[in-house]
Amino acid sequence: MVMNPEASGAATFQVSADAYDRHIGRYSADLARALVGTVRPSPGDRAIDVGCGPGGLTAELVRRLGADHVAAVDPSPPFARACAERLPGVDVRVAAAEDLPFADAAMDHAFSQLAVNFMTDAPAGVEEMRRVIRGGGSVAAAVWDYAGEMTLLRAFWDAATTLDPRASDADEGRLMGWCAPDPLRSLWEGAGLEDVRVAPVVVTAAYAGFADLWSGLRGGVGPAGAYVAALEPTSAAALEADLRRRLGVGDDPFRLPARAWVALGRVPL
Ligand SMILES: C[S@@+](CC[C@H](N)C(=O)[O-])C[C@H]1O[C@@H](n2cnc3c(N)ncnc32)[C@H](O)[C@@H]1O
């Protein structure tokens, strides 16, 4: 399956890193710990983060391997810039998964967190991830369970679609091709990876209150943020109220759980 970047929302990441941090970036560090923990790279290994954003996963790789053993790419210039500023010493480049600017077998592990569904051509992107990894190395990615237990985005699109059925055209649970175990397994095996496993991971994000959550959605980030940004004020207010009611949260601090699927495969020797 080849995603159209406009349909998948890749263009909605040409935003500031701060805006990203207030929205999905809240989940990045916990998810990165889980994703990298699945692979358990050894000291001395080299790793690449594909679709690095402002660097949530890159930071976890730096913590484990050291900046000089980590590369990162993202097609969004503001995100690549933020990643480079936050993590000095990392080889950060503006590039897409489908055309990685690295030699064959240049590294030991490729990671991609929450980016596979935004690739213009995910099969080509995963094949590129395999190409730059040596035989015996690994290719791993995490994607949200958009149609199921990614609480924030599921509640958001359910609220939006109830208020305006046309919102289902933008519902990530419908739009994203790679957010369930079987398609992910096919994607990994189709890229020539072996011993493929897909498993769930649940992480949580902290919010100071509903206003904190809504301010993240108002930043225009990702498909949900872009949807809010395009609404008239009265429609946005109705969506805000419905989302708050669905989540059952108020002005006190709370945490929301989010399930991701982690796909992992080994590069043949
Ligand atoms: C939800 S963000 C995830 C960012 C970061 N990995 C994280 O976990 O916080 C999705 C990222 O995919 C990037 N992206 C979009 N199209 C891409 C492509 N073709 N190849 C690689 N990354 C892409 C976006 O620019 C954005 O940074």
Determine whether the shortest distance from the Cβ of 120 to ligand 1 is under 6 A.
yes
List the structure tokens of 189: 């095996």
User: How much is the pLDDT for 8?
Assistant: 59
pLDDT for position 237: 98
Q: Which residues contact 161 (CB under 8 A, 6 or more apart)?
A: 167, 168, 171
Q: CB of 58 closer than 6 A to ligand 1?
A: no
Model confidence over 130-150: pLDDT tens digits?
999 999 999 999 999 999 999
Residue nearest to atom 10 of ligand 1 (CA): 115
Q: Please give the full DSSP string across 106-130, using - where no structure is assigned.
A: -EEEEEEES-GGG-SSHHHHHHHHH
For residue 50, the ligand 1 atom closest to its alpha carbon is 21
| 245 CA from centroid of ligand 1 (Å) | 30
Q: pLDDT tens digits, residue range 14-37?
A: 878 899 999 999 999 999 999 999
Question: If you measure from the C-alpha of residue 115 to the centroid of ligand 1, how many angstroms do you get, rounded to a whole number?
Answer: 4
- Give the per-residue pLDDT at 12: 79
Structure tokens that stand for 70 in this block:
């980590």
Model confidence, pTM: 0.95
How far, in Å, from the CA of 114 to the mean position of ligand 1? 6
Residues (pLDDT < 50) of the chain are 1-7
Is the Cβ atom of 249 under 6 angstroms away from ligand 1?
no
Please, are residues 179 and 146 in contact by the beta-carbon 8 Å criterion? yes
Distance between CA atoms of 55 and 104, rounded to whole angstroms?
A: 24
Query: Is 254 a pocket residue for ligand 1 (Cβ < 6 Å)?
Result: no
Q: Buried b vs exposed e over 139-155: b needs ≥16 C-beta within 10 Å?
A: bbbbbbbbbeebbbbbb
